[in-house]
Chains A and B, each alone.
Chain A
Amino acid sequence: MNICVFVKRVPDTEAKIRIDHETNSISEEGINFILSPYDEVAVEEALRLREANGGTVTVVSVGNEEALTTLKKCLAMGADEAVLVKDETPETYDGLRTAKILARAVEKRFPDYSLLLFGKQSVGADNAQIPAMVADLLNLPQVNVVTKLEIDGNKGIAHREIEGALEKVSFSLPAVVSAQKGLNEPRYETLKGIMAAKKKEIPIVTFEDLGLKEEEVTPLLEITKLESPPQRQAGKIIEDEPEEAAKQMVKFLHEEAKII
């Protein structure tokens, strides 16, 4: 079973986000970048499926050369191969654009895949749209926000999280699946894995190599303004004894906030 996993390099969730108002973009200065947490879950799932069924795991990222570090991490976790599709375009969070690039990369470079694994959303862009778009472009079934995945031959069953419940979805391969936290506990890279990853070459592919024309990779969304969220003002903090404190809180909710 050959699996492709799509991964993105994103700012650490701890990062304080600063805005560069000149370019309408996030300032990268002093920010630590990581493999997007849901993508890490997707890589782990691919490795487990390979361990159970054989085949290969290839990781693919669209981004600048800094993303090589992210791909190296995936190799160190145990992925067989990695490919970088080079993209220097400033981020507009246009999911369709990335989806078109990924779909083309799959068609050109991995025609014999049976599973395409994604994170349910990339941390930062918070788009949650690329997996479904790739599924449509390649005319595949999609199961998003998956917390349990079982593959048997060319059939799959997945649990997909919805509001207050789970949907049990059956589908046939090839398919698109996007990972939710809880699907598995990602492994740490081993020293051996890190050493092996160091030796692997990561091919860098251009849009030209993929036969992508300029109009296909022109962003169709435009960020016209980027702002910091309005700061919340700290309210009243009391240290009264419990009964009085509870009374005060409910009084606040009733009379000032008018919620209860």
Chain B
Amino acid sequence: MILVFIEIREGKVKKSSLEVLSEGKRRADELNTEAHAVLVGHGAGGLAPEVFPYGASKVHVLENSLLAHYSASSFSLALVSLVEEIKPEIIFFPATSMGKDLAPRLAAKLGVSLATDCTSTACKDGKLEVVRPIFAGKAFATVSFKSSPQIASLRPNVFPLLEPGAEKGEVVKKEVVIPEDQIKGQVAEIIREEDAEIDVTEADIVVSGGRGMKGPENFDLLRELTAILPHSAVGASRSAVDAEWIDHQHQVGQTGKTVTPNLYMAFGISGAIQHLAGMSSSKCIVAVNKDPEASIFKVADFGIAGDLFKVIPHLKEELKKAISE
């Protein structure tokens, strides 16, 4: 059986987890087995109907009042008790902040190795094989496991959702025991940046600016574009971040975030190797740069060699028109 960890943030199931469940279901079908999902948290069972349509034949709900807030120590303890009981052959996590924090802690508890941030999965001779980008995507490693269960985290925005199926299925609740002294570290507060509803790693469209933006005030031009484009976020090159034009949470690249949106728009970004590493697996790339020789054009599907300050106002109008149609 394949077990998929479903991440809940602020009472909602994250879409990236449903992508992972969809992929889990595809592999489960191939291996002639089932995909199960696990929800962790006090009263998390109410979210099961949102999970079933993406391929779970069973949803496990791990409850304990101490699980109301996320911590890797308590969540991994809860998961271990389930894993020991139902013995999955494969466990998938989303490679989100939570998944990356939690999966290694669980793997260490189980004494098994973990493959992080995979971009493809397959079965070979009844076993799992995953592909993970290394060197920020400058190479792709196909990895197999010599320990069991096989654990991997899967990159958001890469795996397609299944056509949603039925909303019903079997819910199995389990009250887990968590010794209070085993909770190591507590989230005291979540601080939210005002204009960052969507993270660049989760956005369908990333609108990025570089040194060519000339100053922090001009990032408002990009924010005006994200206001028009559905499910989009503002990204940046390291030069823009180092100049303190925008917070480093927005940095895309080898020492920033790796993004794989449907559309990546680069404005005034030259396309240094470290920047390309973070965005060149985007599904579609467009760029505006006044230098026709800029490296960004080597990866762009469509480029405008011109002044971004002259292009953006027209782009805004044209996008508005196209979207309202």
Contacts and interface: CB of A to CB of B under 8 A. Distances in A.
Interface stretch (B57-65, B216-224, B293-301): B293-301
Given A164-B197, A235-B302, A145 B97 contact: yes
B172 interface: no
Contact of B274 (A14, A165, A257): A14
A227 interface: yes
A163 interface: yes
A200 interface: no
Interface string A131-151: 111111101111111010000
Interface stretch (B29-37, B114-122, B206-214): B114-122
A233 to B, nearest CB: 8
A109 interface: no
B105 A132 contact: yes
Nearest to A228: B139
B185 A237 contact: no
Nearest to A182: B248
Interface string A217-255: 001111111111100101111111011011111101110
Given A13-B274, A222-B143, A250 B134 contact: no
Contacts of A162: 97-98, 190
A164 B193 contact: yes
B192 interface: yes
Contact of A223 (B137, B143, B256): B143
Q: Name the interface size band of chain B.
A: 35 or more
B112 A223 contact: no
B105 to A, nearest CB: 5
Contacts of B286: 249, 252-253
Contacts of B147: 220
Contact of B263 (A17, A94, A253): A253
A256 to B, nearest CB: 8
Contacts of B229: 260
Interface stretch (B47-55, B83-91, B158-166, B309-317): B309-317
Interface string B277-319: 1001100111000001000011111111111001101110111
Interface in B239-264: 248-249, 251, 254-256, 262-263
Nearest 7 CB-CB pairings of A with B: A141-B184, A246-B314, A163-B199, A129-B104, A141-B185, A136-B108, A171-B185
Interface of B: 9, 72-73, 76, 96-98, 100-105, 107-109, 111-117, 129, 132-147, 184-193, 196-199, 201-202, 205, 229, 248-249, 251, 254-256, 262-263, 273-274, 277, 280-281, 284-286, 292, 297-307, 310-311, 313-315, 317-319, 321-323
Given A132-B101, A170-B185, 10 more contacts: A19-B139, A96-B113, A128-B116, A142-B105, A164-B196, A171-B186, A181-B251, A226-B141, A232-B299, A236-B301
10 contacts: A133-B107, A139-B184, A165-B191, A168-B190, A225-B141, A235-B302, A242-B311, A248-B302, A259-B262, A260-B319
